Structure 1
């Protein structure tokens, strides 16, 4: 029995030594405490076993002695038999107690192994979950870093775009102010002609100077009369002082077909020749670069009033001088984007 206990003890120590390398500190302390209790119980059992062994040896010696006496003293058999039975009963009880203690010790060791295996299973499961969470966390960190880089890049692009927009806004505001200043200068220069066949309007970032036919031309003619020349020369002076203005001269007619012969064939020709005649008068001012001017004929195809009445046709017979600020700076910014 001593040899069996030693084997159990060694197995228990080896099991705890193996488990101590894998179990977390807190669990290890719990198992170590149980191990200590098992070792104390085992030591107690060992001590009790040794006592029992001594007692069994003593009892065995006494039994032998009693047997000898029994053989020698037949007459005292009843007393010896009773003593023998009592000693046998005591021996059986001691042996039963030993077997019970041994069984309890084995159950305690088995329970310890079962709990250790359970803890190991839970630990492995926890480690697996932790690894999965760690992998997921690393993936999220990489995605977050990528998103952060995209955000930084987008923020930089947004800042650059906002700077461009602010720059464009500044240029547009400057252009609008230039257009307003130009409108005022043109209006001041042509003050005596307004409401006398001449109107000045600011729209779409441009200044429109509209001159009715009766201010410039006789019906069906493209020769500018004296009053019209006076107005055009005053306008040319303003344009010469404002070099950043492009000038488009558009001739317009009504929808009555042109009747005549010679150089003018139709309303297209009449509108173009009228625009050209005005450009020539404007460029008599040497401060006005001809490269800034464009002459165009729109014929009858862009009427102010599309109705077929005398009043409508009179409105449509006109010349429009469209003044547009140069947008070179603005175009350069747009092209750079």
Structure 2
């Protein structure tokens, strides 16, 4: 065989070997590629599962975060309620302490109130006894006055223990005049002797009040004021100078027609309203006011005691 033939055979063998090697390499590469594709597919599936798991985890994380926020809000609300409850408890405790202190103070004051009530009751009894004595004395005087002066002088004892003598104006003064008549002077002398200078009334104040009817004098109501006042002063002066009644006991006031005893528009009513009133005010007059005051105090004490 020639050299060229040998070289050709060798070349063919080399090509064949190269082809076989290439085929083997292709086969190996193809297997690796298929394996790689399988691995890639598996990896893709794993990735999808991972993404799904991630999404679920993120969802759970979101839910957990929401739950955490709700729990935090509830915790804060609970803390606020706890603070309010503590404040309420503190206020209640303080109120309880105050109530206990007030109760103790009331209990301590109870005995003092009882002593005060007993003292007031004793004073009331004393005052009522004195007023009763004044009433009895005045009733005797009224009986004597009515017996002596009959229809000339009216006498009454008011609720304050004051003896009121009602003298008809026409007896003391002529119509429209402030000058005492002779009959009026004699009547004042008799009243002074029987009552004003009586030792039972020696320390009584004597108020003389003048009153007119509602007919304007000389067409002017102002003159009614003048006349009522002038008549009261005339009576006071006479009692001081001629009947010798202590001036410090005497007082004169005019009321015109503003304190009528009969409001009817008749001649009889007008005659009643034209008058002089001599009022004997006992020095114990303050006892009546004191009696009213003490009764109010007693009512107040009783009210406090019942609370």
Q: TM-score, normalised by structure 2?
A: 0.54
Question: In 1, are the aligned partners of 2:216 and 2:224 still within 8 Å (CA)?
Answer: yes
Q: What does residue 201 of structure 1 align with? A: 156
Greater RCO, 1 or 2 (C-alpha within 8 Å, sep 6+)? 2
Q: Paired residue for 2:241, among 274, 284, 287?
A: 284
2:202 equivalent in structure 1: 243
Pairwise CA distance, 1:183: 4.2
Per-residue deviation, residues 192-224 of structure 1 (Å, max 9, x unmatched)? 2122x3110112222110011122111111122
Residue 185 of structure 2 corresponds to: 229
* Residue of structure 2 equivalent to 1:258: 217
8 Å contact from structure 2 (residues 189, 243) kept in 1 = no
* CA 303–164 in structure 1, closer or farther in 2 if over 3 Å, else same: same
CA distance in 2, matches of 1:284, 1:183: 29
Counterparts in 2 of 1:201 and 1:181: CA distance versus 1, 3 Å: same
Pick closer, same or farther for the CA change 1:310–1:224 going to 2, 3 Å: same
State the SS of the aligned residue for 1:222.
coil
Residue 282 (structure 2) pairs with residue 325 (structure 1): yes
Of 117, 120, 130, the match for 1:164:
120
Q: Is the 8 A contact 1:247 1:322 kept in 2?
A: yes
Equivalent in the alignment of 2:147: 191
Q: Is the 8 A contact 1:304 1:316 kept in 2?
A: yes
Where does structure 2 lack aligned partners over 5 or more consecutive residues?
Answer: 1-94, 298-307
- Partners in 2 of 1:325 and 1:281 — Cα distance? 22
Distance 1:182 1:214 in 2: 26
Whole-Å separation in 2 of the counterparts to 1:187 and 1:158: 43
SS in 2 for 1:266: helix
Alpha-carbon distance in structure 2 between the residues aligned to 1:325 and 1:303: 24
Distance (Å, rounded) in 2 between the aligned partners of 1:256 and 1:143: 68
8 Å contact kept, 2:192–2:243: no
Aligned 1:72-221 pairs, distance under 5 A: 147=103, 149-185=105-141, 187-189=143-145, 191-195=147-151, 197-205=152-160, 206-221=162-177
SS in 2 for 1:315: helix
CA shift for structure 1 position 186: 5.1
Q: CA deviation at 1:268?
A: 0.4
Q: Provide the rounded CA distance (Å) in 1 between the counterparts of 2:215 and 2:99.
A: 73
SS at match of 2:255: strand
Computed over aligned residues only, the root mean square deviation of the Cα atoms, in angstroms, reads: 3.5
Aligned residues: 196
